[in-house]
Chain A
Amino acid sequence: MYSDLLNALPEVLSLANFAAVIIGVIAGIVVGAMPGLSATMAISVLVPFTFGLEPLVALGLMAGIYNGAMYGGAIPAVLLRIPGTPAAVATTFDGYPMAQKGEGGFALQVAVVSSSIGGIASAFALMLLAPPLSQVTLLFGPSEVFWVAIFGLASIIFLLGGSPVKGLISACFGVFVSVIGADPIFGTDRYTFGQLEMLDGISIVILLVGLYALPPVIDLLETPLKTETDANKLGTEPIWRTLPRMGRFWKTWIRGSLIGIWIGILPGAGGSMAAFMSYNEARRASKTPETWGNGEPEGVAAAEVANNADTASALIPALTLGIPGTAVAAVMLGGLMIHGLQPGPMLFRENPDVVFGFMWQFLFGAILLVFLGGSLATNSFARLLNLPRPLLGSVIIVLMLIGVYSIHGRMFDVYLMLGFGAIGYVMDKLKFPLPPVVLGLILGAFAEENLRLALRIGRGDWTILFQNVTSLVIVALTIAVIVGPLIKRRYVNKRLKAELGSKTGMEE
């Protein structure tokens, strides 16, 4: 098998195939950097177009776009607090405060280096461990996947923000939105109001663009002209000088890569969950958790390393089993099928040159990210986002429209996005946190579907959820990671209260 890997290399290095990766990475960064455009949208526009291309050119473009966009999403997340892709939501937590402190340039450099490291780790996992890791995926049946989703949902409590009531309202809203569409078991309509367009549920991209991009655009237009110019305060330094300052993130990089790879091989959850989890874990491990959320570079590193670490690994279940790990991987699977590449164990035997070539392209895409992203993004994009505010606003509105329209080619989605935009504006102004909505939408119906499948398999017996080791391990993990700190905090608080008397109530 490893000889197949080496045999595939010369083909990948041919001019056309390598150029495809370079173009893909640049295009991906641009797409990710444009608020409103997403990797999912870019690849779904690209797939029909690749029908006439050589497989490795087509796949190289897609691998490049995927890698590029996962980093590109960080650019507006840092500079405008608009995550360019769903996976960049966690990047806003510390990236935007950094930009406000005048460290936007450093934040972007941390993002690009971390993204690249995550991407490289993930590509190696895909190249070397795809078959054994796909065996891990097989361990996860409906009841196990249900617990993974619960694990993810439980981490919402770390994202509640200042007011738990508002945070929980956000979470309930997100989960409720996830319910819209066809019932996962019976196929009956739930809250579709007779609209066929809503039968497949609300796409995360539509919600994200509405919720995250429209309110800042309104803000751009709301505040009159002549305010701060972010780019002047970017504080960009050459990357070789900032690189040593990143050395201390090595633990976060390793942890984030492992989390990203792990989430990637589990079907359905995807980059946003990986980024949230990596961020939470890194904060928990940090000696100075109080700086997180106020511009801690390690927070950017944690989020960005994880959202790139799930790119290639999401393709492991996609290539070996036909079940994509993320929405982007799902679209890419279409790109493979259009070239007659049927996913499955035989794929590796029948088309080794293409499959292993594709894996190399992922690796090269991740490496190229540092070179292309480092120079391209920090300079040109930051300047682009420094356009006069009304002009920037009006351009982003156009991008939002084509970004949402192009996913399924219908205006219905655009109107839906505007509806979410209005909700998002109110939420933003009244300080309802947005991340719980995103996580709720991604994991709510996902948890429900798997619970109900598990109950069907158990023929209505709820104990099926606790009947095997994998499930119990995840339950234990959930308790340890989520509930543990809460109990500990309460316990510590109580002791502090006892010791210091009146000096509490300062937290949160």
Chain B
Amino acid sequence: MSKPQNNRLLRPETLTAVGITAISAALLVPTFGMRAMSALLPAAMLIGLIGLSILLLLSDQRKAAANEEAKPMTQAPKRVAGAFLLVVAYALATDFVGFYASTVISIPLVAWVFGFRHPLGLAAATLVVVGSIWLIFDFGMSQEFPSGRLWEK
């Protein structure tokens, strides 16, 4: 199984709390340029976030001091990172190469990478999904999807 977290500053909750504090503090800067009434709600929420994350940090560090093991975020970080990357790559491909081309490649690719490798199943699923999307959205309702920025102009 996974290794216990040795460094008490690298516990997921601690990192998250520090992250929230830092981002909230940074987002607090623009409120100084706003009118009082405009700044009121965002500033209140950001200060609330900072205060609450400090509480979270303290409670997590207390747990660390008590030698309580932090649960790892995931059992399979590589798979998670891979999944995220594929989703982002799919969105970018849709934007730049076009929706249909990207989708036809992405459905079987993602399923294949993550363990479903039945060729007939992959082909059938891709065909059914892309076919019905085209039929309903494009053919039925003349809804346009991105055609790919690369091909424009």
Interface residues of A (CB under 8 A from B): 45-46, 49, 165-166, 168-169, 172-173, 175-176, 179, 183, 185-186, 188, 190-191, 214, 217-218, 221-225, 387-391, 393-395, 397-398, 401-402, 405-406, 409, 411, 414-415, 418, 421-422, 425-426, 429-430, 444-445, 448, 452, 455
Q: A188-B34, A191-B27, A391-B125 are in contact. Are A222 and B110 (CB under 8 A)?
A: no
Interface residues on B, range: 35 or more
Enumerate chain A residues within 8 angstroms of B84, measured Cβ to Cβ: 218, 422, 425
Which residue of A186, A393, A422, A444 contacts B110 across the interface (Cβ within 8 Å)? A393
Assess the A429–B12 pair: CB atoms within 8 A: yes
Chain B facing A: main interface SS: helix
Q: A172-B48, A397-B87, A402-B133 are in contact. Are A426 and B16 (CB under 8 A)?
A: yes
Assess the A190–B106 pair: CB atoms within 8 A: no
Total A-B residue pairs with C-beta atoms closer than 8 Å? 160
Residue pairs across A and B with Cβ atoms less than 8 A apart, 29 shown, are A45-B137, A168-B52, A169-B49, A172-B45, A172-B48, A176-B46, A186-B38, A190-B30, A217-B83, A221-B83, A225-B114, A388-B118, A389-B114, A390-B116, A391-B111, A391-B116, A391-B122, A393-B111, A393-B114, A394-B108, A395-B107, A395-B129, A397-B106, A402-B99, A402-B133, A406-B137, A425-B84, A426-B16, A444-B41
Assess the A225–B73 pair: CB atoms within 8 A: no
Residue of B nearest to A391 (CB): B111
| Closest A-B pairs by Cβ, 8 of them | A394-B110, A390-B114, A390-B116, A176-B45, A225-B115, A221-B83, A390-B111, A391-B111
Q: How far is the CB of B109 from the nearest CB of chain A, in Å? A: 8
Assess the B133–A221 pair: CB atoms within 8 A: no
Chain A facing B: main interface SS: helix
Enumerate chain B residues within 8 angstroms of A191, measured Cβ to Cβ: 27, 30, 42
Interface residues of B (CB under 8 A from A): 12-13, 16, 20, 27, 30, 34-35, 37-38, 40-42, 45-46, 48-49, 52-53, 55-56, 59, 73-76, 79-80, 83-84, 87-88, 90-91, 94-95, 99, 103, 106-116, 118, 121-122, 125, 129, 133, 137, 141-146
Taken together as a complex, chains A and B put the C-alpha atoms of A307 and B114 apart, in Å, by 36
Enumerate chain B residues within 8 angstroms of A169, measured Cβ to Cβ: 20, 49, 52-53, 56
Taken together as a complex, chains A and B put the C-alpha atoms of A452 and B41 apart, in Å, by 11
Enumerate chain A residues within 8 angstroms of B114, measured Cβ to Cβ: 221, 225, 389-390, 393-394
Q: How far is the CB of A272 from the nearest CB of chain B, in Å? A: 20
Assess the B141–A49 pair: CB atoms within 8 A: yes
Residue of B nearest to A449 (CB): B41
Assess the B12–A186 pair: CB atoms within 8 A: no
Assess the A165–B59 pair: CB atoms within 8 A: yes
Enumerate chain B residues within 8 angstroms of A393, measured Cβ to Cβ: 83, 110-111, 114
Q: How far is the CB of A322 from the nearest CB of chain B, in Å? A: 26
Q: How far is the CB of B112 from the nearest CB of chain A, in Å? A: 8
Q: A183-B38, A221-B79 are in contact. Are A405 and B145 (CB under 8 A)?
A: yes
Taken together as a complex, chains A and B put the C-alpha atoms of A46 and B84 apart, in Å, by 31
Taken together as a complex, chains A and B put the C-alpha atoms of A46 and B143 apart, in Å, by 9
Taken together as a complex, chains A and B put the C-alpha atoms of A191 and B23 apart, in Å, by 13
Taken together as a complex, chains A and B put the C-alpha atoms of A411 and B53 apart, in Å, by 33
Residue of B nearest to A166 (CB): B56
Assess the B146–A429 pair: CB atoms within 8 A: no
Taken together as a complex, chains A and B put the C-alpha atoms of A391 and B116 apart, in Å, by 7
Residue of A nearest to B37 (CB): A452
Assess the B30–A172 pair: CB atoms within 8 A: no
Q: A390-B114, A393-B114 are in contact. Are A426 and B73 (CB under 8 A)?
A: yes
Q: A188-B34, A390-B111, A391-B116 are in contact. Are A430 and B13 (CB under 8 A)?
A: yes
Assess the A175–B45 pair: CB atoms within 8 A: yes
